[in-house]
Chains A and B, each alone.
Chain A
Amino acid sequence: MRNRNKRVQLGMAAFMTMTVAFLMMPVATPVYAEGSPGLPAPTSDVESSFPAQKHFSPYAGRNFPTQAFWGDTHLHTGMSMDAGAFGARLKPEDAHRFARGEELTSSTGLRVKLSRPLDFLVVADHSDNMGFFPRLYDGDPKMLADPTGKRWYDMVQTGGQKGVEAAIEIIVAFSQGKFPEALASLPGSQAYRSAWEETIRAAEKYNEPGRYTAFIGYEWTSNTGGNNLHRVLVYRDGGEKASVTEPYTTLKPLGSDNPRDLWKWMNRYEDKTGGQVLAIAHNGNLSNGIMFPILDTFTGKSFDRAYAETRAKWEPLYEATQIKGDGEAHPFLSPNDEFADYETWDKANLDFSVPKKNDMLQYEYARTALQTGLQLQRELGVNPYKFGMIGSTDSHTGLATAEEENFFGKHSGVEPSPERYKHPMAQTPNGRLESYDMVSSGLAAVWARENTREAIFDAMMRKETYATTGPRMLVRFFGGWDFTAADVKGRLPAYAGYSKGVPMGSDLSPAPKGKSAPTFLVAALKDPLSGNLDRIQVIKGWLDEKGGRQEKVYDVVWGDAGKRKPGKDGKLPPVGNTVDVKEATWTNTIGDPELITVWRDPDFDPKQPAVYYARVIEIPTPRWTAYEAKRFGVTLPKEVPMTTQERAYTSPIWYTP
């Protein structure tokens, strides 16, 4: 067997026992069955993904999502107070233009362009202190009579350069106090336009169904005590609906720092407008143990079913990787996983006010949270942590850069420069974050049928998404009961995937009679611009007979398989390393461009709830710091990592007994 045993025994909460009520629960429901708490109603997009009948022609009935669309759901611009303070001058409009592939000038004056455009973007500026801007409002015919107005009018009519001159004259006249008084006596209801309207306007202008999706969104930045509980809000709707309400803030009396209140606000928005909105939490690693707790942080008591239902309903996704650290796994929680310590940020909470303690970690990382979710499902009947995975940047530069060789940093104070590595990314009296700790990560991949707000949003709701740390590898992950080796031989693995199983983000159907273990079809194709693939792993989390959290990492398929076999200890040898750090280059002479296999869980126990996801690992490539050193001819301190093994995390597939 190719598997490597990785068993991690974790503490089990005493109250997590199987209750009689649990045993009496009906058997697991199929995907999106009616009444699945917390799950959205099936969309037409999903319904037709599962062909009711098979066709002779493999091309007939192919209406499943065939494209992975790439985006960043978490980008700040100069409209965010903190981004502005760090010098970001780019606005939402610039952010969209950049994401669409245009070359522009960064806030620090550098020319910058993406290697390839993104397919979608959420400009998510902080809702707190979004503020207002002077507003253009409706006029009054009286103004037409003024002689200065008449002159401006003529200039405007002439158009071209004259029009520009008129604009300048107005501004200068105003700033010099020479604005004609006769033009000033206007009634006006609203003297301001909110920054929110500005954000919406930019999204509306650049959204182009079929080519580029500009989502409307914002970030709700709950940060009490420096503990990160941030959420990014994404709208399915256009400006007509989104502008009906103001974004939710965290400061009382208008807002709140408690996610429950945010969910109430979301509910209110949907009720009022008939629109749809979802929330994506991020940086559990900076929450100091409150992102995925087992007890309600705000009351100290056990959660109730309502909490689990609302959280699962509003938060279908988790941002598992970004510039401020990777949040998939932690080496303390997964000591046998040699890939767990990836770009780990675990010194303290967000503002460094409280140092990290080991017992906080289990409530911060996605892998453990998925297992905690299984425990809470037993207790409450609903799994509050039933999330899919995406990555995003959380960049505050207006530039969605996640690639190692094109990394513009967390904020405009740490855009590329020969001095960048010397400057801290952030500094408080309690600690300092080095700029070279920044992670050039991540991206959100979404399997959808077309590039529109609706199709991508619906795919996010059904969790057919995955996270990458920057590269755009294609990853498929299907679960079912009768995948066989033949399914990876023919073309169109996705066809076998959808017709015989369920895609990432779904629930396994109940086991058919005679099937003793679930099977998984998993495939990955390298990013044409990035490194070959080292391996694909399936990570299984489950509850043992005592209800304790368990996890295991299986290597299921790997590159150079002809000459690379697991050793006696079951460990697969490392793929090797071709990186020339000095030159910041590598060769794709190791690993494989494509990996695909069918894997059957060898340790399956039908009585135990389980959650599976795939992790795809690239061969080593230069980290952004290597490009920095090479391009500026600088020498970085010895402790700075110069290579990386980029990766993808798929949304899980759940099994419920």
Chain B
Amino acid sequence: MEQFLKKLIHEPLVQFLAIGAALFLLSGLFGGSSVPQSGQAGRQSVRIVVTPGQVQHLTAQFTRTWQRPPTETEVKGLIDEYVLDEVSYREAMAIGLDRDDPTIRRRLRLKLETLNEDIAAALPPTDRELQAFLERHPDSFRREPEVALRQVYLNPDRRGGKTDAGARNLLARLRAAGPDADLAGLGDPLLMLPNDVPLSTGSEIGRLFGEEFGRSVLALAPGRWEGPFRSGYGLHLVLVTERKPGRLPQLSEVRTEVEREWLFARKKEVQEAVHKKLLERYTVVVERSPVPGEKGSAVAATLPATKAR
């Protein structure tokens, strides 16, 4: 039975309908009836009933915060606060304090958007969809190529006009000595960076030496001293000792990642579609006072249903 329920919960339709149902339920609980209409002061509902369910909710929240149930006094304190919240809420709504408040408007928009995202997220992707997504966005999932390298640093600040000549000489010496050249005492000191960098991606190398340098060394074929290449510190002579090409991974290797990206894209898609759909239900008119010196006062409609007048 439990197995069945678990399976059921993961059924897209069930999740789907559950959201809808949740929305409906929320509307019943909080939409309209318990909230007095602003302006009419809602005097018909001066009763505040704190239901066992609400007490349970307050108690549960306390218990989750403190990892112990509240004492009787604490429960009373929680209820008192809740009642005061409710009274203030009703009174504030009655005199329209919720209107024209950017904090409230933005909060509600955030809540609506979160809701839309939930619905988008309720449809788990199939392998076919993920495979297609991976193929459509290979660059997002491609494993970067890696190189291992050795480097010798030259400090142009210290060498001044002789930097280029120094670099040429040193390069010749290094080429003569080959890939296993002893680097001790060669070049200028840069003690906090390694002479030997193990297999790393361009971005990892970029972290240490700067992006431009990362890109330069990635383009090198292994086995030969090259350079000089510029980094954030100065110039470097570089030998790539090993190179591992980049590749597009199989879906099975990156399923979690692809699913995350798929979901994010889906959420955006739903969000935009819902905005569009909702806008279709409104006629938007933007009125602006004419700007002196500008021809006409109509403002270009940026939204599909917007009419300028």
Q: Which residues of A contact B (CB under 8 A)?
A: 78-79, 81, 84-85, 87, 89, 91, 93, 97, 116-117, 131, 133-141, 143-144, 146, 149, 152-153, 156-157, 159-160, 163-168, 170-175, 177, 179-181, 183-186, 188, 191, 198, 205-206, 244-249, 252-255, 265, 268-269, 271-272, 474, 476, 488, 490-493, 523-529, 588-589, 592-594, 596
Residue on B with the closest CB to A185?
B21
B55 within 8 Å of A by Cβ?
no
Choice from A157, A174, A523, A529 contacting B20 with Cβ under 8 Å: A174
Evaluate contact between B67 and A170: CB separation under 8 angstroms.
Answer: no
- Asked whether A156 lies within 8 Å of B13 as measured between CB atoms, the reply is yes
Given contacts A81-B103, A87-B106, A493-B191, contact A184 B18 (CB under 8 A): no
Interface of B, helix, strand, loop or mixed by DSSP: helix
A597 smallest CB distance to B (angstroms): 11
Most buried by B among A135, A139, A166, A181: A139
Q: Are B114 and A133 in contact (CB under 8 A)?
A: yes
List A contacts of B129 (CB < 8 A).
Answer: 159-160
Task: State in angstroms the CA–CA spacing of A402 and B233 once bound together.
Answer: 21
Given A171-B116, A245-B67, also A152-B17 (CB < 8 A): yes
Output the least CB separation between A487 and chain B (Å). 10
Contacts of A206 in B (CB 8 A): 260
Q: Is the CB of A248 within 8 A of B233?
A: no
CA distance A593 to B233 in the complex (A): 6
Q: In this complex, which of B17, B22, B106, B266 has the most chain A Cβ atoms within 10 angstroms of its Cβ? A: B17
B115 interface neighbour in A133, A188, A245, Cβ under 8 Å: A133
| Interface presence of B210 (CB below 8 A) | yes
Q: A186-B21, A244-B64, A594-B192 are in contact. Are A139 and B274 (CB under 8 A)?
A: no
Chain A residue nearest in CB terms to B233: A593
Interchain residue pairs with CB less than 8 A apart (7): A84-B106, A97-B264, A139-B21, A183-B24, A186-B21, A246-B65, A589-B157
In the complex, A535→B141 CA distance in Å?
42
**Any chain A CB within 8 A of the CB of B250?**
no
- Return chain A residues, CB-CB under 8 Å to B78: 253-254
Identify A525's interface contact among B77, B190, B269, B277, CB under 8 A.
B190
Which chain A residues lie closer than 8 Å to B199 at the CB level?
A: none
Further pairs besides A168-B270, A247-B65: 19, Cβ < 8 Å: A85-B106, A89-B110, A137-B22, A156-B16, A167-B116, A167-B119, A168-B273, A170-B16, A174-B24, A184-B21, A188-B21, A245-B67, A246-B64, A253-B74, A254-B78, A265-B65, A525-B190, A528-B209, A528-B231
Bound together, the chains give a CA A588 to CA B17 distance in angstroms of: 62
Contact partners of B5 in chain A: CB under 8 A: 138
Are A593 and B114 neighbours in the complex by a CB distance under 8 Å? no
Residues of A within 8 A of B303 (CB): none
Across the interface, do B115 and A272 meet the contact criterion of CB distance under 8 Å? no
Interface residues of B in 118-133 (CB under 8 A from A): 118-123, 125-126, 129
Partner of B15, one of A136, A165, A181: A136
Q: Is B155 an interface residue (CB 8 A)?
A: yes
Contact stretch, chosen from B25-33, B165-173, B238-246? B25-33
Most buried by B among A135, A253, A271: A253
Q: Report the separation of the CA atoms of residues A250 and B106 in the bound assembly, to the nearest whole angstrom.
A: 23
- The answer to the question of B19 belonging to the interface, with a C-beta cut-off of 8 Å to chain A, is yes
Contacts of B83 in A (CB 8 A): none
- Provide the bound-state CA to CA distance between A636 and B126, in Å: 55
For the complex, give the distance between the alpha carbons of A448 and B233 in Å.
24
The answer to whether B20 touches A173 (Cβ under 8 A) is yes
B61 contacts A by Cβ under 8 Å: yes
Taking a contact as CB atoms under 8 Å apart, the answer to whether A78 and B110 are in contact is yes
| Smallest CB gap from B280: residue in A | A172
Q: Please give, as numbers and ranges, the residues of chain B lying within 8 Å of A175 by CB-CB distance.
A: 278
In the bound complex, what is the Cα–Cα distance between A87 and B106 (angstroms)? 7
B164 within 8 A of A: no
Say which residue of A139, A170, A172 sits within 8 Å of B14 (CB atoms).
A139
Within 8 A of A (CB), among B185-211: 189-195, 203, 206-211
Q: Say whether B8 faces chain A, with CB atoms less than 8 Å apart.
A: yes
Q: B292 on the interface (CB 8 Å rule)?
A: no
CB distance from B309 to the nearest CB of A (A): 24
Which residues of chain B come closer than 8 Å to A144, judged between CB atoms? 13-14, 17
Find chain A residues with CB under 8 A from B229 CB: none
CA distance in complex: A149, B22 (Å): 14
Contact B8 A139 (CB under 8 A): yes
Smallest CB-CB A-B distances: 3 pairs: A528-B232, A528-B210, A184-B24
